[in-house]
A and B are shown apart, each in its own frame.
Chain A
Amino acid sequence: MGSSMARGDIENLATDFFGLFESFKHAPFYHIIIEVSLLLAVVWLLFFRKPRPIEKKLTEKEKQELIDEWQPEPLVPPVDSNHPALNVRVLDGIVGKTVEIDGRKSLNFATFNFLNFVGNQRIADKAIQAVQKYGVGSCGPRGFYGTIDIHLELEERLAKFFSCEEGIIYSYGFSTIASIIPAYSKRNDILFVDEGVHYAIQKGVEASRSHVKWFRHNDINDLERLLAEQDVLDKKNPKKARTIRRFLIIEGLYVNYGDICPLPRMVELKYKYKYRIFIDESVSFGTIGQTGRGITEYYEYSIGSIGGFAVGSSFVVDHQRLSAQGYCFSASLPPLLAAAAIEALNIMEEDHTLLFETIMAKSKRLHKKLLSIKGYIINGDEISALKHLRLTNSLNTVGRLEEIVQFAQSRDITITVARYLTDEHHLPEPSIRLILNVEMTDEELEFLCTVLQEALVKVTA
């Protein structure tokens, strides 16, 4: 009975299956496709899909708790009210060759007034004339009626002075180099930078977001090593190398060290390894004379005015007119400062051999005199008008240097400790920055050395 039922069932089953197959053959094609896909989907879901972790969604209450609990830090950390920056000397008068502090006149070896243009009557007259013609501010960026004819004149004069094709001026020295570097060097480019460059260049390098390779200060061998390493990488991938721009950023005369960069060798390397050079001549312009002329500069100091400029071939300089942020998006230089700069250039061009020769000669003499004082380390080239003075080894602390400065002030000599921010890339050793003014007489230089000697005795006693 069971087996006949079973056989009957099997037969029915077989017929059903056969009927099923028959119906498949007659079914439309898309029907089969859909069914097959469904089957595959089920198989995938079962075996191949990775289980996704269930996201923990926060409830509104929890979110509100997080918001209520969050406590920010104070906007600024507490400050030390004894910090020297909060207790600076307040002056009230011209800071030229002499400066008046607390009613006493002292010789000024602290400000960047190399050619003694501060207080120069000719420059002041021209500045006054500019105010009477143009007012004080320029009321707009260069693109929107902020370009005054005096700016164009200054740019032409600067270009002519440096025998370059074109010049471009900025309204603030710091932002000159900080805008120029990002205008040319982008994310994929490489910058070879000297470790001893000053802060504005460091900021410009940061803003450009390029790869930076620092080489030891003024060490040409270290630079060559880095260039050779880069060359090896280039040879491995020449296609990529053709799209990477390279720049060398150096200073003509380093503000933090007082020494001069070895330019000729760097130019040789430039043509060998194919990079472009940017030189910052903030201090060497107007003090060194023949060496150090290059593509980028900024004048803030020796010309007795404020601002910055760059000179070079038209090909290079023109690009900045549209892409340098500090030029396009900022108000232009007040016309009176441009007028002061033009007059200073006039003076420099008139008796330039005398002015520059004098300052270089005096720097050499001062250097010799300073070397003769035992106990000080003098940093800086002998023809440089900017020198750094340090005490030997472990004696060299900011505290002792400040004592020397105060002692000198009591003897009517004004000098200053070089100030830096703590987040410099390569913080220089504490030092006193001595700046020579071209109008200083030999007696005054003698007096300076005497005072420094006495100070040394007092501090190391």
Chain B
Amino acid sequence: MSPKTAINQKMNKSFSSNLKTKCAYENEPKYQDHEDFEETPTWAAVVTVLGYAILSALGWLRDFLRHIGFEEKKTAHDPNPKNFVPLYQSYECFYTRNLYTRIRDVFNQPIASVAGAKVHIMERISDDFNWTFKFSGKKIPSINLGSYNYLGFAENQGPCSEQAIKSIEKYGVSTCSTRHELGNQRYMQELETLMAEYLNAEDCIAFGMGFATNALNIPTLVGQGDLILSDRLNHISLILGARLSGATICPFNHNDMKDLESQLRKAIISGQPRTCRPWKKILIIVEGVYSMEGSLCKLPEIIELKKKYKAYLYMDEAHSIGAIGSRGRGVVDYWRVDPNDIDVHMGTFTKSFGSAGGYIAGKKALIDHIRIYSHSACYSTSMSAPVCYQIISALSIIMGRDGTNDGQQRIQQLACNVRYFRRQLVDMGFIVYGNDNSPVVPVMIFMPAKIAAVNREMLKRGCAVVTVGFPATLLTESRVRFCISAGHTKEMLDHALKAMDEVGHLVSLRYSKQKPHRRWIELDRADYDKEYLS
């Protein structure tokens, strides 16, 4: 019997038993909630900073050589006459010219197929050290560990894409009008009703772009005289939305509830700066899963604080909706809290539903207000039909409305994959950040040169990974970030782990002081296989 059939049988059993019990959570395995952020070893931090210093020194030397004409200037030139004020500050570009360009080939890699569990990367060759690229025409088939495809809906076949194609034939590609005018189609209302049901909220509104959902709707909720308490590691769309609103922003340390409480107390007691007037309202903005850390927000404690101090809560579930929780309903499901406690549920359709766009859900009064005052509803073209239908069919599958239990299987498969992958990485001696249940798996690299090395070596071994460094992360905390998908089979994960094991040995990535450093063949296979099937 293949492992997948075994899982299916087990899932069928547990699923049907769930239907029989009143409480949906009783028969489910209790996941261990454990988050770990092992500290950077001091020697690694020192070597990293030293590395950046050497690179900067070399950069200055090269700039000097280019300035005196010894070396050719490879960057583009300003077509305007010389007496115009320069468009860019020269130091803004220092990083781009001297550090980023060295490893430019590992970013923005184009693909030539659907961004599913396996992907075809277009090979690029550079003759001049990454200043310009040429396509060799070759396509490298690799396991996709970089795209956000948590439930595996990025498919070009199957019920979802069939629905999308039918909708193009019926509705065309675009409506060319805004929601307030002639762009309000029936399928949008269908999507919104379905999403509200999925989240157990009163009402929901959907937008065409996830980034814009945050940036253009936070200003409708808060304005001058309000206070926003936002987590230090929030996504840039949240920061932009907060800035555009005109409210005062106070960051609190990542996931630090004591800091949040002390900030809340200080805010209410002292009031607005200078005038000491009381704040009109306080909005706490957090994310469900933080995409660079892999950590989950501590929702029950935040809700307790919010109720105690009468603040409002805005939750961005871009990475957690569909991917976390026993029924895929996000962190609300994971922590088993009442959805009504969260004032504004926000999320995107890009990650778990294989589509594009964002949504905001909550009480009907809130959504009505957003419908009237949102910048996006009034000025932007409404969502495209195939995009909506892809989400509608993905939602139907996850909720089990299509008559199969494909949705629940996907959720369980993702949870299995995540546990399997994380445990082995940790047991091999890598520093892995984040919660044990989050599908985002960051493994620390620290040193700048290793960013490129890991990416290239993994690609050689047929794995497409995402490596990030400064400025997306702190200077000394570069990492490789794996995004696990329900579409990954056990064989794919084993292949990826073997590749990571080899690359880790080649480039010395095993930094952990808490666990012994082991090679993949030294691990006890039976132990992991047993957990994978159970």
Contacts and interface: CB of A to CB of B under 8 A. Distances in A.
Interface in A62-118: 63, 66-67, 70-79, 81, 83-86, 88-96, 99, 108, 110-113, 118
Interface string B84-123: 1111100000001000100000011111111110010110
Nearest to B467: A144
B114 A118 contact: no
A94 to B, nearest CB: 5
Interface string B219-230: 001000000000
Interface stretch (A334-342, A345-353, A362-370): A334-342
Q: Chain A interface: which size bin?
A: 35 or more
A315 B115 contact: no
A103 to B, nearest CB: 13
Contacts of A306: 173-174, 208, 381, 384
Interface stretch (B53-61, B72-80, B411-419): B72-80
Contacts of B116: 135
Pick the 6 closest A-B CB pairs, nearest first.
A172-B209, A330-B211, A315-B76, A76-B369, A111-B177, A136-B390
A119 interface: yes
A90 B466 CA distance: 43
A171 B209 contact: yes
A88 B464 CA distance: 46
Given A139-B354, A147-B108, A419-B378, A110 B177 contact: yes
Interface in A169-195: 171-175, 178, 184
Contact of A147 (B87, B109, B164): B109
Nearest to B187: A92
A271 B387 CA distance: 45
17 contacts: A75-B343, A76-B365, A86-B372, A88-B184, A123-B172, A136-B164, A142-B108, A144-B147, A145-B144, A306-B174, A314-B76, A316-B87, A325-B236, A329-B211, A329-B235, A331-B148, A419-B180
Interface in B166-188: 168-187
Contacts of B126: none
A146 interface: yes
Contacts of B378: 85, 199, 419-421
Given A76-B369, A174-B380, A306-B174, 9 more contacts: A85-B377, A131-B164, A138-B115, A149-B110, A207-B244, A241-B85, A304-B174, A305-B174, A315-B77
A174 B208 CA distance: 10
Interface stretch (A46-54, A242-250, A383-391): A242-250
A51 B190 CA distance: 69
Contacts of A133: 113-114, 156
Contact of B243 (A66, A137, A172, A207): A207
Residue from the set A66, A74, A136, A330 with the largest chain B CB neighbour count within 10 Å: A136
A74 B366 CA distance: 10
A58 interface: yes
Interface stretch (B279-287, B492-500, B511-519): B279-287
Interface in B472-526: none
B41 interface: no
B140 interface: no
A414 interface: yes
Residue from the set A142, A148, A246 with the largest chain B CB neighbour count within 10 Å: A148
A425 interface: no
B392 to A, nearest CB: 11
Interface in A365-424: 414, 416, 419-421
Contacts of A314: 76
B83 interface: yes
A450 interface: no
Contact of A421 (B111, B211, B375): B375
